[in-house]
Structure 1
Amino acid sequence: MESTLLLFVLSLGIGGCWGFAVEGYAGSSIIIKCKYKDEHRDQNKYFCKDDAIGGKYLCDTQIQTEGNKGWQTKGRFSLYDNTDGGFLKVIMRNLTKSDEGKYWCGVQKTFLDDYTEVNLKVKEGKEEVYRVSGYVGDDITIKCKYEDTNKHKSKYLCKNTAVGCEDRIRTDRKDQWESRDRFSLYDDTTGGFFMINITKVTEEDYGTYWCALDEPPSNDSKVSVDQFKTIQLDVHTGSPVVLPVSMTIVVLGFGIVFFICVMCQKRRGREPSFNHSGTVQDNDRARAPTDGVYEEIQDTSISVYALAQLPTNPSCDPTYSTVQLHTSPGGDPSYSTVQLPADPSEDPGYASGTFQKIPSSETS
């Protein structure tokens, strides 16, 4: 591994030595940004780890630019020189405790390099990965929440590739849609989230994404860290298994017919009569309360159960008539009347009856 000799003058260094603390979690990644001077835009940059052994101040270079203005990748490190923003962007992946220590964002110069000190601390923890899935051709929506203190920051979505994390879309617009190709982003500052839409998903969209808050470094704070959430997008080929509509109708029809037949068979040959407690009984034997469907009516002084056994299809047995209960609160709350045909003489099989609510003191 290449090493860079660091020269110090009065412990600060002529090139400028600024120490900034950053934190990451074991097993996850971290995005570090280092600000540099405008006049250094065309210089090569590097990111190295301090290796002060035997009194020699050496810095093991982890990754560096080589005249290429795009992403550079080496092992677990990726680097991007943002000349427009005037900062160096470094990604460290799969952090371990051994990654802790002092690093330098450096700018190569003829005599003395300009550098910024970064102190990395790695904490124990586990990276949360949010999984989103869809089929080729689907439209997919990803929603990322953020704290109210971050509403002023720019938002972006990038995809992790072999060379780095490449932007798919980003915006600094608030409460407005931003579109780029098949990607759209809306920053809802009121709801505290930003939403990304991906239309007509392809197999190439499969992979790991970061929905992130952009935290650019400044002249006052030369080092910053972007906050992000990890999204795993799974894209499936083919289409979801859907039962054909015709088959669904046939199955549903058979089920309804079967249910009606069963209910008619249970009702056939039995005629209900009502006792004074308001429960339905067979002519041959009393039915246990657990045989029916109960509805409990709550009142300040009473608790009454009413059991109704009515046919699913009244046409299956013509000896039944419809039971109608009072719905008007102004009626007598103690009784409900069975409505019978206008002329009872037409069918001698009908009988009249009444329901009476029994006070709770008498039902025990």
Structure 2
Amino acid sequence: MNIHHLLFFCCFSAALCGGNTRLVGAQVPVFTQAEGETASLTCYQLSSSESRKFFCKNKCEAEDILINTDGNTALNGRYSIEYRSGSSGGELTVTFTNLTRSDSGRYRCGLGETLYPDSYCDFEVRVSDAPLQDGISGFSYTTTEGENITFGCDDTVYGRHKFLCKDECKKEEDILIETDGNRTRRGRYSIEYNWAGEMDVTITQVTKSDTGRYMCGYGRALSPDSSYTTSIVVIDAPTTFQPSGPFTGSFVLLVVGVPFFVLLDVFLLLYKLKKQRNLGLNTRGNADDVFMEVTFFHEVLSQSMNLS
């Protein structure tokens, strides 16, 4: 089993603000690892070292609380936490040991009370039943095809030359960007040394082929002075619901620009026709009633379409 620590973001109060693998945007980040592995995530730059530390799942109600302690370390079965203070705030690392499929879900770790935290981080874990791509250990940041992602190249020491590689960065073809500038783009990949003195990496319109391990840092790519490595898994985008059935095409056309009461009349008419057919009714009087309803519906629909 591989043990791998991934520093991924920090939170102040309820705000997601970034960090190693600084994720841009308000969406809850998703991380994936295979069943049976042991891996960690670190939420850093938390607000106060004097607060209680907690780790919980789902809604963080009583039955969801995995760890709640005043100490800097705690263990509860397969879950553990470790808190460390630093010059830029506290770091809270949560560790999953021997991951199981039941560990899939949404989590929160932070400082303060579980329901009213001083600061916290939200994230989602997905546990796969098969190993991830070769060379990827620990949790991998997971995104869907077509998304843009940005992560921070932290735990590095500034240097004039900057680089971004994929895979092991041991040969020229692994190098995506190598530059002495503070902002460089090459195709869908870009690096930027920002105002906070940190380097960000962005990949736009990710595809399945972007799944893999990335290395960024300072110095020459093939012999870096300092570097940071992270891994990304790109999954298929969710499929859009496609209605099916004998009335699909005509129904979709009727819905556009048609008031609700007209649609309701359609359903009532279809229901009555179906009911009469099931009962085997075929009298002249019933047919006239149906004919009158069809005529009424046709007139109302015509007026509706003219108004729209």
The TM tier, using the shorter chain, reads 0.3 to 0.5
TM-score when normalising by structure 2: 0.34
Larger radius of gyration: 1
Larger relative contact order (CA 8 Å, sep ≥ 6)? 2
TM-score when normalising by structure 1: 0.30
